[in-house]
Structure 1
Amino acid sequence: MLCGAGCSRGDFRPATITDFYKDTLTLIGRGRWSFVKVYKSKTGQGEYAVKTRLKKNMPMSQEWNYAEKHEWKFDKEEKILRKLVGHENIVSFVTSFAEQAQHCQVFELLNGADLYRSIIEKNGESHCELDVIIYMRGILTALQYCHKNQIIHRNVIPPNLFFVPSPAGGDVKLVGFSLAVKAKHGEELFGLVGTAGYRAPEITSVNKYHYPVDIFACGCVFYNLLTGTHPFISHTSEGTSFLSPAWKLISADARDLVMRMLLYEDYDRITASQAMFHPFFRNVARTGWRNPLTIAVDGLTEFTQQKMWETVASDDDTSCYCAARESRKSRKNDPKLTKLFW
């Protein structure tokens, strides 16, 4: 508790974001109920990303009022963020401020762009399997750490993957933990959560789920990075498969890992720890690892322009469910895909 300017002795008020940080008025992101701006520290020289949720914009609950539901949710989210601080592939949480009209979370400021845009903005530089190895290693390393700490992210989607460039090349950081949950090994979770198109089958069908849901979503991202398309539905609303022309330039190791991540049954899916030892990451001298994935870049450009993941945490999964159902029909005659996808 800090004493505000002009207050009398013994008169105290809660600390606010403006006590320690100055708003630069630079908007760097906006979500359904929140926005992210750049703030400067008043006690140092650093800049930070501040995520602000206005309480008047948050959905109300018939059972709980705002204070009972959302303040509890923020507290739960921050406990998870604090447990993950320090990992090189996860955004670092700094502090938070619970104010009367808003809730502010302070994070490290990541210089770069979301992963897909960073690939598109390479200005013609080659995008190949070697790049995908770097991206996927970062994502899986982050998920491995989350799962080791009994945390399920539940929303591994393109906007929650940030690429931070560096002299050594750069790395991916996992962000967006608003839907994350702590779950012990063996604990059963239920409910529809996440983003349409990246939800695992067990979530879409409202069955019990656990850590494998993150691997499934990660597999969807992996498929995106290699082909520029979605594993369930193409931009022409037709089912996609490994028969796409893009797969002609992709190695058997990459294809095998995609299949293992997108298996229908959660207990059959590869884990994050197992994936790190897959030949895709170890057999770097394989044929074709430097082939330009031009088709993928073109697809990611269209994918990003259409903003196909804006239904984050939506309860309406009808389009995804129908697309998956149609996609399953198109694959039922392929014996290699019997247990793959829907």
Structure 2
Amino acid sequence: MSPEEKPPPPQAGRCRGARPPQPQPQAQPRRGGLLSEIRTAIRSEPFHLRYRLSPGRELGRGKFAVVKKCIQKDTEKEFAAKFMRKRRKGQDCRMEIIHEIAVLELAQCNLWVINLHEVYETATEMILVLEYAAGGEIFDQCVAEREEAFKEKDVKRLMKQILEGVSFLHRNNVVHLDLKPQNILLTSKSPLGDIKIVDFGLSRIMKSSEELREIMGTPEYVAPEILSYDPISTATDMWSIGVLAYVMLTGISPFLGDDKQETFLNISQMNVSYSGEDFDLISESAVDFIKTLLVKKPEERATAEECLQHPWLEQSDEPISRAWNESAGGESSNVTQQDADSASEKSVDVEKTEEEESIVTEELIVVASYTLGQCRQSEKEKATEQKAISKRFKFEEPLLQEIPGEFIY
């Protein structure tokens, strides 16, 4: 079964305490590439009646949301609950949350996108109950010491899955716009599981009839066209995947400077190095793969489909999914399990109507958040570099303003 052939969840009926689904048969784009209609029944009953929060640290936290592990009481199944404030900086942001739900619905049939289980709403927040990815972020392995970091064969397998997921999104006119290690989760850490793409708060629907220009994303991963305020496209995601592959293979953030301005300068001037001790154990084919993506002109970057045909990935004999490989031996995986009680899960028709309202110019929102953590670094890299490229991840204050949805899930 291919990633796109995951059986759709059963259609949900009316559930007690739940609001009825929206009447529209499919999600419709609204201004600025946002979706405004969903099919998921929004439950108004208290969240704690069906779920209990697991003790321990949070799975993730942002300025307007927090993600916690929870247990469904009647089944004892584990989920991740994303608590999202509806009002942020004095503005009602409920529709942005609705958009995120709609994108998750659209991608419900893809194995590499996090699964939406159900949605709750209170007077102040909305709660997205999501599939639980026990392995956490791939960021942890990216910043680990070399012995514990990803091996190239691991990166090959995970990159195939990322590209399968992103290819599915792009074919359905969705751009993620915030692909980074914190937004790629693992179903298990040991043994190394499969990936789940998360956090669609910055995602947009691309339409051939309109140009979309926005400055958003995480500085280390944004494409040059974001900085120059040129139209964004599916190629914008592909740049981020190139940076992501670089980070997964080397543990180095290729464009990160001492401050935001230096980071942006490194990106716009293509100040990136493919030499040094960190590349000693990396194949030439892997470097060539990255070079097909870190290209300044968007139209010259490889697409997700083209990347999947690259020799670096084609030569790999690793199974694309550990879950499928293990199932042959009778061992099940939480990736392929279908929740028997996922009554509120639904598939959304990916085709969108051609009849749209007049285009409204999207308000420009500037957003940025820097990576927290320290990347491994060799002694040689501590020497003076000929280019202004930082070899460490670092944390900086957000650039001007944050936008809702930039969280771990």
Q: TM-score range by the shorter chain?
A: 0.7 to 0.9
TM-score normalised to structure 1 length: 0.74
Question: What is the deviation of 1:248?
Answer: 3.3
- Runs of 4 or more consecutive aligned structure 1 residues displaced over 6 Å after TM superposition: 235-238, 302-305
Deviations 1:222-270 (A, max 9, x none): 1112222222246797854123332233222111111111110111000
- Alignment correspondent of 1:229: 252
5+ residue gaps, structure 1: 5-12, 286-295, 317-342
SS in structure 1 opposite 2:165?
helix
SS in structure 1 opposite 2:83?
strand
Between the aligned partners of 1:313 and 1:118, the Cα distance in structure 2 is 30
Structure with greater helix share of residues: 1
Q: 1:34 and 2:86 equivalent?
A: no
Q: How does 1:299-310 map to 2 (within 5 A)?
A: 299=377, 306-308=393-395
Letter in structure 1 aligned against 2:78: E
Q: 1:18 and 2:18 equivalent?
A: no
**Contact in 1 for aligned 2:114/2:198 (Cα 8 Å):** yes
Letter in structure 2 aligned against 1:280: W
- Alignment correspondent of 2:351: none
Deviations 1:257-311 (A, max 9, x none): 11111110111000001100100112248xxxxxxxxxx97249x9998554874
Deviates more, 1:182-191 or 1:40-49: 182-191
Q: 1:135 and 2:186 equivalent?
A: no
5+ residue gaps, structure 2: 1-14, 19-42, 318-373, 383-389, 404-409
Between the aligned partners of 2:95 and 2:287, the Cα distance in structure 1 is 42
Identity fraction in percent? 24
**Contact in 1 for aligned 2:118/2:128 (Cα 8 Å):** yes
Between the aligned partners of 1:243 and 1:79, the Cα distance in structure 2 is 43
Between the aligned partners of 2:82 and 2:235, the Cα distance in structure 1 is 28
Go from structure 1 to structure 2 and tell me whether the alpha carbon gap of 1:96 and 1:122 turns closer, same or farther (over 3 Å shift).
farther
Between the aligned partners of 1:85 and 1:34, the Cα distance in structure 2 is 22
Letter in structure 2 aligned against 1:73: E
Question: What is the deviation of 1:178?
Answer: 1.0
Between the aligned partners of 2:116 and 2:133, the Cα distance in structure 1 is 12
SS in structure 2 opposite 1:208?
coil
- Alignment correspondent of 1:255: 287
Between the aligned partners of 2:115 and 2:61, the Cα distance in structure 1 is 19
- Alignment correspondent of 1:53: 84
Between the aligned partners of 1:3 and 1:186, the Cα distance in structure 2 is 40
Go from structure 1 to structure 2 and tell me whether the alpha carbon gap of 1:124 and 1:2 turns closer, same or farther (over 3 Å shift).
same
Deviations 1:34-56 (A, max 9, x none): 11111221332212100002345
Q: How does 1:1-342 map to 2 (within 5 A)?
A: 2=16, 14-26=44-56, 27-55=58-86, 58-61=88-91, 66=92, 70-118=93-141, 124-125=147-148, 127-165=150-188, 169-185=192-208, 187-233=210-256, 239-284=271-316, 298-299=376-377, 306-308=393-395, 311=398, 314=401
Go from structure 1 to structure 2 and tell me whether the alpha carbon gap of 1:118 and 1:251 turns closer, same or farther (over 3 Å shift).
closer
Between the aligned partners of 1:309 and 1:221, the Cα distance in structure 2 is 19
Between the aligned partners of 1:245 and 1:48, the Cα distance in structure 2 is 41
**How many residues in Structure 1 have an aligned counterpart in Structure 2?**
289
Deviations 1:56-90 (A, max 9, x none): 5x2234xxxx1xxx111111111110111132211
Between the aligned partners of 1:219 and 1:304, the Cα distance in structure 2 is 17
**Contact in 1 for aligned 2:144/2:375 (Cα 8 Å):** no
Between the aligned partners of 2:133 and 2:182, the Cα distance in structure 1 is 13
**Contact in 1 for aligned 2:376/2:392 (Cα 8 Å):** no
**Contact in 2 for aligned 1:161/1:174 (Cα 8 Å):** yes
Go from structure 1 to structure 2 and tell me whether the alpha carbon gap of 1:148 and 1:194 turns closer, same or farther (over 3 Å shift).
same
| Higher RCO, 1 vs 2 (CA within 8 Å, ≥6 residues apart) | 2
SS in structure 1 opposite 2:196?
strand
Letter in structure 1 aligned against 2:218: T
Go from structure 1 to structure 2 and tell me whether the alpha carbon gap of 1:214 and 1:126 turns closer, same or farther (over 3 Å shift).
closer
TM-score normalised to structure 2 length: 0.63
